[in-house]
Amino acid sequence: MQKNIAILGSTGSIGCSTLSVIRHNPTLYKAYVLTGGSNVAKMVEQCVEFKPKYVAMADFTSATLLRQHLSNLHLNIEVFSGEQAICDLAQLVEVEQVMAAIVGAAGLRSTLAAIKKGKRILLANKESLVTCGHLFMQALREHHAELLPVDSEHNAIFQSLPTPVQHDLGFASLTEHGINKIILTGSGGPFRDTDISKLKGVTPEQAIAHPNWSMGKKISVDSATMMNKGLEYIEARWLFNASQDQMEIIIHPQSIIHSMVSYSDGSVIAQLGNPDMCTPIAYSMSYPDRIYSGVAPLDFTQLSSLTFKQPDFNRYPCLKLAIDAYQSGQAATTTLNAANEIAVEAFLNRKIGFMDIAKTVETVLNKLTLAEPSSIDEVFDIDSWAREVAQRMVK
């Protein structure tokens, strides 16, 4: 019996990798719902190959265009538009798993909609957890939704945890299960060895050229500033109920060890593999079983070395801002994320320089006076405020 999957953000990098895993396992999974933002050409291609039952585009004009294309191709697929339609499709009774792969806080509402219907959530969209971790984890528990981390580090940590902790994700005590530390690895991005004085002049093209992973533009810039590792630090603290002392971040340039768990008896359990998101995606879909992902196994004889070093906050100020924001609370992490989204977009559009990303985020954080949010609406109020302030700055 095929499992129906809704892929929110199917036209993006994670969405395409999810479809690749489905392509390898056509008897096990059906791409039942596909959603995109505005990339009509990619969506047409995916509709032709996977013939989903329903499709939605966030952008209304794109949805109209898509309807015309599908009609010309005599494909009988229902096309919807707008954010509410994406939420509705994520909640369909027939959908068993929801891949949350929309980029940014734009993915929050649809991910929460799927949680409210108790779906298995395959979480790639780290920004939703960063933005409202406490409310997000509460909603998971309340609606008995299952969360499988897709982010490669969190998926690696999940794979390295004992089963009782996996089953009580976000709530089990790490100490009671003999866990000392979660060790989050990061590549250090394309500017790991660049002279710090040269960083202000780097271009968007250089910033998105990640040394190991093929990813969307926003997360690629985040990797270059190491804001990505900062967001992942916040994501890990919520997902694994980890304290500050139970977290370590280490640069591992080869991206072969995807993260580790250090135990009280001296054992360290790590997950290794070639840097290809199809592995964690496949695991999140098939857990607790394993399926073929299409990723070649590691050839240890071809690995020259595995190296590690401490991150330097002078090179990566965004990493420090994110760690501190978690300490300050959810208003701060929402602000950090929103300001970063605006700053990264401005950098990609050549309106600000690379080092201005951290400056923008820091300045917006310093202006924050709003109280801690107690509802999703309040989270969105903080998000909107931070975006407005950041927009004014980058102009």
Ligand X SMILES: CC(=O)[C@@H](O)[C@H](O)COP(=O)(O)O
Near Mn ion in 116-155, by CB under 5 A: 151-153
Residue among 22, 47, 49, 21 at smallest CA distance from 35: 47
Any contact of residue 228 with ligand X (CB under 6 A)?
Answer: yes
Any contact of residue 225 with Mn ion (CB under 5 A)?
Answer: no
Any contact of residue 12 with ligand NDP (CB under 6 A)?
Answer: yes
Q: Is the dihedral of CA 59, 65, 70, 74 positive or negative?
A: positive
Any contact of residue 124 with ligand NDP (CB under 6 A)?
Answer: yes
Angle (nearest 5°) at CA 220 between 214 and 222: 150
- C-beta separation of 195 from 159 below 8 A: no
Residues binding ligand X: what is the number (CB under 6 A)? 12
Binding track over 216-235 against ligand NDP, x by CB under 6 A:
x-xx----------------
Any contact of residue 259 with Mn ion (CB under 5 A)?
Answer: no
Segment near ligand X (CB under 6 A); pick from 56-64, 133-141, 150-158, 380-388:
150-158
Any contact of residue 192 with ligand X (CB under 6 A)?
Answer: no
Cα distances (angstroms) measured from residue 21 to each of 1, 116, 218, 273, 346: 17, 26, 23, 16, 34
Q: What is the Cα–Cα distance from 125 to 375, expressed in whole angstroms?
A: 20
Q: Which residues pair with 185 in a beta bridge?
A: 250
Q: Which amino acid is at 389?
A: V
Residue among 40, 55, 31 at smallest CA distance from 122: 31
Near ligand NDP in 47-66, by CB under 6 A: 58
Long-range contacts at 333-336 (CB < 8 A, ≥ 24 apart): 333/130, 333/131, 333/133, 333/234, 334/130, 334/131, 334/132, 334/373, 334/379, 334/382, 334/383, 334/386, 335/364, 335/365, 335/368, 335/382, 335/385, 335/386, 336/130, 336/230, 336/361, 336/365
CB of 293 to ligand NDP, least distance (A): 14
Q: What is the SS3 assignment for 57?
A: strand
Segment near ligand NDP (CB under 6 A); pick from 33-41, 63-71, 168-176, 296-304:
33-41
CB of 292 to ligand NDP, least distance (A): 19
Residues binding Mn ion: what is the number (CB under 5 A)? 3
Residues binding ligand NDP: what is the number (CB under 6 A)? 27
Any contact of residue 17 with Mn ion (CB under 5 A)?
Answer: no
The one among 10, 152, 271, 335 contacting ligand X by CB under 6 A: 152
Residue 35 in tokens: 């959603």
Q: What are phi and psi of 122, to 5 degrees?
A: -95, 100
Residue 160 in tokens: 């390295």
Any contact of residue 149 with ligand NDP (CB under 6 A)?
Answer: no
**Of ligand NDP, ligand X, Mn ion, none, which one sits near residue 187, judging by CB under 5 to 8 A according to partner kind?**
ligand X
Q: Of the two residues 186 and 317, which places its CB atom closer to Mn ion in the complex?
A: 186
Any contact of residue 282 with ligand X (CB under 6 A)?
Answer: no
Q: Are strands 29-36 and 3-8 parallel, antiparallel or unpaired?
A: parallel
**Of ligand X, ligand NDP, Mn ion, none, which one sits near residue 13, judging by CB under 5 to 8 A according to partner kind?**
ligand NDP
Site residues for Mn ion per CB under 5 A = 151-153
Site residues for ligand X per CB under 6 A = 151-153, 186-187, 189, 213, 219, 223, 228-229, 277
Site residues for ligand NDP per CB under 6 A = 9, 11-15, 36-39, 58, 101-103, 106, 124-127, 151-152, 213, 215-216, 218-219, 277
